Amino acid sequence: VRKQCQITSFFSPG
Amino acid sequence: MLELRLVQGSLLKKVLEAMKDLVTDANFDCSATGFSLQAMDSSHVALVALLLRSEGFEHYRCDRNITMGMNLNNVSKLLKCAGNDDIITIKADDGGDTVTFMFENPKQDKISDFEMKLMDLDSEHLGIPDAEYHAIVRMPSLEFSRICKDLSSIGDTVVISVTKEGIKFSTRGDIGNANIVCRQNTTVDKPEEATVIQMNEAVSLTFALRYLNSFTKATSLSETVTISLSSELPLVAEYKIADMGYIKFYLAPKIED
């Protein structure tokens, strides 16, 4: 089973 | 005071069509550099970054940086009232709560203006660092669109792998599985028909086809798409907007749980 990652786990606010 | 006059109004129409299904509300940022936007889809899986550089406008006046929150579906509705050959001017006052879109037809005998209320949106601007990608593939945008559409009739996810052989798109579903390989091909009549593969390291990642299909709404903006892949990063699909800038879509991968 594959889990969908979120963009926010790669790029942080700023 | 903000006043942006875009002779090729159809570009803005196409840009909105490319984004409106992915993003509901977004802040448009206007500065001396240009007209830009960064927004994520509601599930934070995909991100779109748009830049229309100030030099690409016939007239570009932006006295101070302005952020304008808009519902993209509403902007798209307004822009549908503009003809494909119309000149579009975007106007706003500093500190105002509305934006005006003005359309002029080529004969200059029909001028329409539409005023829209701006929205106050929480902006969550993400820092996207410059990265070295394992593989960068440039291919005809129509070909990429066709592949995403074809594969989504079979499966929900696609494995994109880049090796020396080429770029491979694989999916599986209830009826079976499918693989499409595009090899590097630079012996073409026109450079935009080429498939060019730059690979530093082989890479293989899994993505939801639904999002990739949404990105292909930008196909009419550019004859080519550049797909950048790295094992630790979201995919980037970049459509260059001639003489003006780009629309880039980022998509987070699906990983082994």
pLDDT tens track for B146-193: 999 999 999 999 999 999 889 999 999 999 999 999 999 999 999 999
* Chain A CA closest to residue B48: A7
CA-based nearest residue in chain B for residue A12 = B126
Taking only Cα atoms into account, the Rg of chain B, rounded to an integer number of angstroms, comes to 19
- Report the pLDDT value the prediction gives residue B232, as an integer from 0 to 100: 85
**Stretch (H or E) spanning B247:** strand B245-251
Q: CB A9 to CB B252 under 8 A?
A: yes
Q: CB-based contact (8 Å) between B155 and chain A?
A: no
Task: Tell me how far CA of residue B179 lies from CA of B148, B151, B161, B169, in angstroms.
Answer: 12, 9, 11, 6
Contact criterion met (CB < 8 Å) for A2 and B257: yes
- Complex ipTM value: 0.97
In this prediction, what percent of chain B has a pLDDT beyond 90?
95
Q: Which of B203, B196, B195 is nearest to B163 (CA)?
A: B203
From the list A5, A12, A14, which residue is nearest B255 (CB)?
Answer: A5
Q: What is the pLDDT of residues B47-91, one digit of tens each?
A: 999 999 999 999 999 999 999 999 999 999 999 999 999 999 999
Question: How confident is the model over B211-255, as pLDDT tens digits?
Answer: 999 999 999 999 999 999 999 899 999 999 998 999 999 999 999
B125 CB neighbours in chain A (<8 A) are 13-14
Chain A: nearest CA to B205, how far in angstroms? 11
Report which of B221, B241, B217, B237 is spatially closest to residue B18, judged by C-alpha positions. B217
A14 has a pLDDT exceeding 80: no
The pLDDT confidence band at residue B95, using thresholds 50, 70 and 90, is confident
